Every structure is written in C-alpha cells, then in structure tokens.
A and B are shown apart, each in its own frame.
Chain A
Amino acid sequence: MRLKLWPTLLLMLGFLGGSRPLLAHHGNASYDTSKTIEVSGVVTEYRWANPHVYLRVDAKDESGGTAHWVFEGQNAVTQASAGWTKDMFKPGDKVMIEATPAKNGRLIGRFKGRIVINGQEFKPLG
C-alpha cells in the first residue's frame, strides 16, 4: 500500500496557521450542509472541551485501510443541555455517526443527527 502524502502536508499546513484567529469559528462556510454522511467505526478519543466537544473515530476506508475521522459538536454547555455527558463515549466503543461533511474533503464532520453507541441509539434531550 502506498504511503499517503496528505497527512504530512496537513501537518505542514498546520504550522502556517499562525496568522489565523484563535477561534476559527466556521459556520456553514466550511461544511457542505446539503449532504449527510454516515460513518461507522471505533472511538479512539473523546474530548469534552471548549470551544467544541469532539470525537475521533477510526473507520474502514474503501481500500481496507483506516480512515481517521473527527466529528465536532458545540461547546460543552450546549452539548450538556442536549443531554451529552463527558463519559458518553469511551475509546473502543463501536459507533455510527450521522454528520455534515467538510467541504474540502478532509475527514472532518459536524454531528448532525443519529448517534448509535454500541448498538444503542442515543436519545438527545429536548
């Protein structure tokens, strides 16, 4: 399997980000709100943090390798109001996430709808 170059490029671009605002608060501009994707995989990390709660999921890609996805939500106050907790995901959990994908094709999504954790549908509050 060929070594993919894009992870290295991504790292290099990260260093050029010094002139960006501290909070790159992207609304709809960075996401393709016309699409919904479903990603199934295994949780590797769950960050209950501000400015955004986010979840890393390893999924299988088309060539049988691993796709490293990250899904973001809102800040911890907003997520807590929707019934989320700091413990609802654990590394190793099998999940299915419905998300809005990034416009630029990166493996980044924004939580959109259904979340299934180890076979159980997560029911948000309110």
Chain B
Amino acid sequence: MAKPAIWTVSLVTLICAFVLVPIGAAQSAPPKSVDDIKIDKWNSVPLHGSAYAGLKSAPAPRRDLSGIWDATGDRTNIPPPGIQPTGAFEHRAVLPGNENPPGGEPDERNIPNPLPYTPLGEKMLEANKPTGLGVRSVPAVQGNDPVEFCNPPGFPRMDLNEFRTIEIVQTADHVLVLNQFFRTWRTIWTDGRELPKDPELSWNGYSVGKWVDDYTLVVQTVGMRDDTWVDNQGRPHSSDLKVEERFHRADHDHLDLTVTIDDPKMYTKPWLALNKFPLKLQPRGFDIRELYCSPSDFADYNKDIGDPIADAPEK
C-alpha cells in the first residue's frame, strides 16, 4: 500500500520540478534589457530602482541621448532626488543633519554647502521668498515664488526643480528636451551655430550643443530672462547668466547630467548645481503623465484646502 503512494509522490514531484522550476527561474531572472521591464501602457509610472536589479547594461550608443529618462530614481529617498524641494541638488538649503528644516531663517549661512553670493546676489536672494521646504521658507501667504502663479519655471529651473521624467529626441540638427513639469520643451541646436550675441531674453534661453566625445554633449545656454528663479529656493540670476550642461551617456541605460551656473553679477565664481546627476532609461512605450499648472485647478484647491489651512486658528 505504501509503495504506490511513494511512487505517486515522487512522480508528482518530478513533474513539478520540470514544470515549476523553469517558471520560477523565469520570474526571478533579471531583465535582459530595460525594454523587457513591464510598465503600464498609459500614464506609465517611472521604474523603481529594484526593477533594474541584475540588469547588465549594454554599452553606450555613440552620440545618442535619445530616450525617456527619469530623475526620480530609487524611491528609498523621499522625496525622490529629481524633485529637489530644498533647492539645486548640490547646494540644498537644509541644515547639517536635517533635510527637513522648519524654515524661517533670514539667509543661507548655516547650510552645509553655501553658495558664493556677491552682495547683489545676497540682496536678490533675500527678495525671493520660497514656501514649502528649505531653511528660508515662509508661510504660503508671504511667499512670492512665480511658479506659484503658474509662471513657467524656465531654464535652468527645469533641471533643478521638479525634474521628473524627460524625453530626449535627436534630429539631424537639433536635440529636443521634453519636460514633464509644465509639459514644456527646449531646443538645443547642434548645427554648429554660435550663441546669439544680444538676444531677446526668454524663459528658456537659447541653447547650442557640441559633442566633445562620442558620449558627452556639452550644451551652453544664454539669454534667460532674469525674473525666473534658478531653483525653488529663490536662488537668483541676472540676464548675464550662462548655464553649461554636460549630458554624458554612461552606458545604454544611464545618462548623467552636470549643470554649472555662471553668473558673475550674482555669484563670485561658477558653481555646480548638479554633478553627474543620474538619469535612468525607461522602457520603450513609456507614456509620460501630464503635469500642468492650471490656474483653475489651483483656485479649486485653494478654496478647499490652501486658504483654510493658511488661516489663523478659529479661537
């Protein structure tokens, strides 16, 4: 009686081993490429760091930045790195050991990595009153962040605040950077033209790009109007600002971005706002969710929450 039972068990086990082990292996095998990783077709959610576990990235293609790149990165950090709620990532307006400062400070002298402001730079910084997070943040009713009126963030703020998912499209003579925040874009001319000498100032400025090697595109931008903030902490800039970006394709799935701010009117020397900031390739077919600033949406929100929460206590 025992013999048939043992045989049955052994047979079942053997069958299971042949069927289930391969299935199990397939489920836990690392992806062969980013395009193998499953995402929602519409309003895709950027991949968490763990999705890439074990992925062996192919070498970088030559002179090619195209793809959908995400700056929100591994979500063990809250908020994700690209959001930069306390200012440009390399110079966060936080306190040593406290990434979530209470705000209300008059200046940035106590932050771990202070900026080299000129006297004019200090004065302009003081005039800009950020809300939200950061050492100098003030209550919403006292703030004057132009983005809070749905003014465009402009450049370089779109690299240094709410940097979420971008799409880079390359054509024969220009590169397009399409930004999720405000659903806006920039054109980087790669046709060899010189930067304009005395341009009309604009929100995003005027950009030219040159490949310095097969994997690094260096972009210079000038002509930005001076009523935008460099980041969400109100770092100032004049219309003399020059911004350099270095887009470096590290391998097939990784792009890093270095941003240098050069404005002698506001800062005594150029400074790095981003330093090899990592961007991760998203799978083919990634659909970037809309993120607009809508005055009517904000009016609704303020009626329901924004105004009541800013009011004085009732008693």
- B309 partner residues in chain A, CB cutoff 8 A: 24, 26, 30-31, 102, 104, 106, 108
Contact A22 B302 (CB under 8 A): yes
Closest-by-CB residue of B relative to A19 is B141
Contact B313 A27 (CB under 8 A): no
Query: Complex formed: what's the CA distance from A72 to B305 in Å?
Result: 8
For the complex formed, measure the closest distance between the CB of B220 and the CB atoms of chain A, giving whole angstroms.
30
The answer to the question of B173 belonging to the interface, with a C-beta cut-off of 8 Å to chain A, is: no
For window 249-300 of B, CB contacts with A under 8 Å fall at 289, 291-295, 297-300
Known pairs A20-B306, A104-B309; A26 contacts B132 (CB<8 A): yes
Interface segment among A48-56, A89-97, A113-121: the answer is A48-56
Closest-by-CB residue of B relative to A6 is B314
Contact A20 B140 (CB under 8 A): yes
Contact A14 B307 (CB under 8 A): yes
Known pairs A25-B140, A27-B103; A20 contacts B302 (CB<8 A): yes
Contact A13 B147 (CB under 8 A): no
Query: Complex formed: what's the CA distance from A53 to B307 in Å?
Result: 16
Known pairs A20-B307, A21-B145; A126 contacts B140 (CB<8 A): no
Partner of A13, one of B45, B132, B301, B311: B311
Query: Complex formed: what's the CA distance from A81 to B300 in Å?
Result: 24
Partner of A51, one of B76, B133, B143, B301: B301
Contact A22 B311 (CB under 8 A): no
For window 87-121 of B, CB contacts with A under 8 Å fall at 100, 102-104
- A36 partner residues in chain B, CB cutoff 8 A: none
- A102 partner residues in chain B, CB cutoff 8 A: 309
Query: Complex formed: what's the CA distance from A105 to B76 in Å?
Result: 32
- B312 partner residues in chain A, CB cutoff 8 A: 104
Query: Complex formed: what's the CA distance from A14 to B257 in Å?
Result: 44
Contact B311 A77 (CB under 8 A): no
Closest-by-CB residue of A relative to B137 is A27
For the complex formed, measure the closest distance between the CB of A33 and the CB atoms of chain B, giving whole angstroms.
8
For window 27-62 of A, CB contacts with B under 8 Å fall at 27-31, 33, 49-52, 54
Classify chain A: how many residues form its interface, as a range.
35 or more
The answer to the question of B128 belonging to the interface, with a C-beta cut-off of 8 Å to chain A, is: no
Known pairs A21-B148, A49-B301; A30 contacts B307 (CB<8 A): no
The answer to the question of B190 belonging to the interface, with a C-beta cut-off of 8 Å to chain A, is: no
Query: Complex formed: what's the CA distance from A62 to B74 in Å?
Result: 43
For the complex formed, measure the closest distance between the CB of B147 and the CB atoms of chain A, giving whole angstroms.
7
Most B-side CB within 10 Å, residue of A21, A82, A105, A125:
A21
Partner of B148, one of A14, A22, A75, A81: A22
The answer to the question of B68 belonging to the interface, with a C-beta cut-off of 8 Å to chain A, is: no
- A3 partner residues in chain B, CB cutoff 8 A: none
- A106 partner residues in chain B, CB cutoff 8 A: 308-309, 311, 314
For window 78-93 of A, CB contacts with B under 8 Å fall at 78, 80-82
- A6 partner residues in chain B, CB cutoff 8 A: 314
Query: Complex formed: what's the CA distance from A81 to B165 in Å?
Result: 12
Known pairs A23-B148, A27-B132, A104-B311; A50 contacts B295 (CB<8 A): no
Q: List, sorted by A's number, 12 A–B pairs whose CB atoms are closer than 8 Å.
A: A17-B302, A20-B140, A22-B302, A23-B298, A24-B302, A29-B103, A30-B309, A50-B294, A51-B297, A72-B305, A77-B180, A81-B72
User: Which 4 residue pairs spanning A and B have beta carbons closest together?
Assistant: A24-B306, A126-B75, A27-B132, A24-B140
* B interface residues with partner A (beta carbon < 8 Å): 43, 45-46, 48, 50, 72, 75-76, 79-80, 83, 85, 100, 102-104, 131-134, 137-141, 143-145, 147-150, 164, 180, 289, 291-295, 297-315
A51-B297, A52-B301, A82-B75 given; name 13 further pairs at CB < 8 Å: A14-B308, A17-B306, A20-B141, A20-B306, A21-B149, A24-B148, A31-B309, A49-B301, A50-B292, A72-B305, A77-B291, A80-B43, A81-B80
